Amino acid sequence: MRVALLFAMQAEAAPVIRALGLVPGAHSVDERFGFVQHHGDYRGLQIVLATNGHDAVHGVDQIGTQATVLNAYLTLTANQPDLCINAGTAGGFVKRGGAIGDVVISNGVVRYHDRRIPIPGFDAYGVGSYPTLVRPEIATRLGLREGSISTSDSLDATPECHARMDAHDTQAKEMEAASIAWVCAKLAIPFVALKAITDLVDGGLATETEFLANLHLASERLCDRVVAFLDLLADEPQVFALQGDA
Amino acid sequence: MRVALLFAMQAEAAPVIRALGLVPGAHSVDERFGFVQHHGDYRGLQIVLATNGHDAVHGVDQIGTQATVLNAYLTLTANQPDLCINAGTAGGFVKRGGAIGDVVISNGVVRYHDRRIPIPGFDAYGVGSYPTLVRPEIATRLGLREGSISTSDSLDATPECHARMDAHDTQAKEMEAASIAWVCAKLAIPFVALKAITDLVDGGLATETEFLANLHLASERLCDRVVAFLDLLADEPQVFALQGDA
């Protein structure tokens, strides 16, 4: 079985690269964009792990949907995985029971909360509502919180963003999942997102401060659950029913 | 010389396809995404015209940056143009002298006004500020308004969006230019945007109503100026200095 693991930031991916013993890809998909790939075999699973690399102008990780759409497309079409996992960090919500270090697994649909096109048809198109794999047993077995994941291209959120996240009972606010889910929907590749909470959107602290303070901790916690996810996939693939066999 | 013309909507592109006598491309770049290409020779210029096609779920044009990033990448890498033109419609601003039917040409930089990442380095990365071709003679010769073009994934704008557009003296608010400019910057392809004003953001009418009412008119006006742009390129390529010869 082939599995694609997509991360936006190198810091989010580094513990997983180490834990799985992955090695840098011999060929970059398109070196002009700076995307990075690692490959390896983990317990019989063929893994490709892609990160968005760094922006040549600003020297920062190429977070957000713009780089992610293209990296996802290039990685997925080149590797034709049976499952695509988007792993990363996210903001949680105290008012919906979230806590730092929780790992949220997507609950069936990922949406955008920053795309408003108030014309019939275009409105729903903008929100996206892309499908994700739903296997409640996975959350139970791995101690994950199944919840609504919502994407925007901003680390903060406007009142309009909050209204949309409230309406969708968002558990994890992040910056990439919907863009990968869109590519997966078009390519008919099953998609799941795993997001570790680094900051509490409604917790009273500045997101950027809390995000940076907890990025390392959350990335380690994320790694632990990603490896457990892959172990379950290697040991009991029937739980995932990727071939429609359940 | 090879020229790529990128439009988001079929209605925006249709008059140009007719005027240039372009024919549907024999091969779609990736039919799973629904992107559409037309090709043709216009006065010695090899033209590829790409539109984003329709969303299979909602039946609407695939506007916005998500589809545009991928369509731009696939079109530009497959055709290796000497110049990429993003043509389309946009919102203008009464307070900055805008009027329905104006055609704005990018003035050197295109930005995002909906991407806020308040961490040093990431903030500027999110805004983008991608370069565009600057040839003031083109605007003078073609009666275009040279101005700041700004992109988001929403047809409306929040107070945060307005503050950013005001700070950058935005003349045209639209939904694709920055995403194409990003791809062009990475691929080292000169980029220019031409945007016809369909609605006045601060004009007191609902954007969606005004946009739909003026889409046809603005698309015809846009077509007229795109063809004039190509005529100038065919007749006096030195004005464009694409080979660094000016």
Which has the closest alpha carbon to A225: A41, A85, A116?
Answer: A85
Question: Any bridge partners for residue A38, and if so which?
Answer: A24, A49
Instruction: Read off the pLDDT of each residue in A70-83 and give the average, rounded to a whole number.
Output: 97
Q: Which among B61, B174, B176, B199 is annotated as catalytic?
A: B199
Q: Do A64 and B186 touch (CB under 8 A)?
A: no
- Nearest beta carbon to residue B153 from set A33, A115, A207: A115
Taking one residue from A and the other from B, the number of pairs with CB-CB distance under 8 angstroms is 115
3-state SS class at B182: helix
Alpha helices in B108-235 (DSSP H): 122-127, 136-142, 159-167, 177-187, 207-235
Domains and CATH numbers, chain A: 2-239 (3.40.50.1580)
CA-based nearest residue in chain A for residue B179: A66
Q: Do A156 and B115 touch (CB under 8 A)?
A: no
Q: Catalytic annotation on B137?
A: no
Instruction: Read off the pLDDT of each residue in A60-64 and give the average, rounded to a whole number.
Output: 98
| Spatial distance between the Cα atoms of B108 and B168, rounded to a whole number of angstroms | 12
Q: Which among A61, A114, A174, A199 is annotated as catalytic?
A: A199
Look at strands A130-131 and A103-112 and give their pairing.
antiparallel
Q: Please tell me the predicted confidence (pLDDT) of residue B245.
A: 42
Instruction: Read off the pLDDT of each residue in A143-172 and give the average, rounded to a whole number.
Output: 97
Q: Do A153 and B114 touch (CB under 8 A)?
A: yes
Count of other CB atoms within 10 angstroms of residue B168 = 17
Distance in Å, alpha carbon of A57 to nearest chain B alpha carbon: 8
Q: Do A116 and B57 touch (CB under 8 A)?
A: no
| Spatial distance between the Cα atoms of A143 and A177, rounded to a whole number of angstroms | 21
Q: Do A117 and B63 touch (CB under 8 A)?
A: yes
Instruction: State both tokens at A75.
Output: 């990685």
Instruction: State both tokens at A26.
Output: 């011999």
Burial B190-222 (b: 16+ CB within 10 A, else e): bbbbbbbbbbbbebeeebbebbeebbeebbebb
Q: Please tell me the predicted confidence (pLDDT) of residue A28.
A: 64
Q: Do A121 and B60 touch (CB under 8 A)?
A: yes
Q: Give B-chain residues touching A118 at CB under 8 angstroms.
A: 155-156, 207-208
Q: Are B70 and B50 in contact, with CB atoms under 8 Å apart?
A: no
Q: Give B-chain residues touching A125 at CB under 8 angstroms.
A: 55, 57-58, 60, 62-63
- Nearest beta carbon to residue B179 from set A66, A118, A125: A66
Q: Give B-chain residues touching A121 at CB under 8 angstroms.
A: 58-60
Q: Please tell me the predicted confidence (pLDDT) of residue B246.
A: 37
- Nearest beta carbon to residue A158 from set B126, B158, B187: B158
User: pTM of the prediction?
Assistant: 0.97
| Reported ipTM | 0.96
CA-based nearest residue in chain B for residue A157: B116
| Spatial distance between the Cα atoms of B126 and A192, rounded to a whole number of angstroms | 26
Q: Give B-chain residues touching A77 at CB under 8 angstroms.
A: 30
Return the half-sphere exposure (C-beta side, CA atoms, 13 A cut-off) of residue A218.
28
Q: Are B158 and A160 in contact, with CB atoms under 8 Å apart?
A: yes
Instruction: State both tokens at B161.
Output: 């969006």
Instruction: State both tokens at A166.
Output: 């409230």
Mean pLDDT computed over every residue of chain A? 95
Distance in Å, alpha carbon of A232 to nearest chain B alpha carbon: 31
Q: Catalytic annotation on B166?
A: no
Q: Give B-chain residues touching A155 at CB under 8 angstroms.
A: 116-119, 122
Angle between helices B177-187 and A65-79 (to 10 degrees): 60
Instruction: Read off the pLDDT of each residue in A47-56 and give the average, rounded to a whole number.
Output: 96
Q: Do A155 and B118 touch (CB under 8 A)?
A: yes
Q: Give B-chain residues touching A183 at CB under 8 angstroms.
A: 70
Question: Sorting pLDDT into bands at 50, 70 and 90, what band is A82?
Answer: very high
**Under-50 pLDDT residues of chain B:** 244-246
Instruction: State both tokens at B20.
Output: 């240039």
Residue A14 has pLDDT above 90, yes or no: yes
Q: Do B125 and A182 touch (CB under 8 A)?
A: no
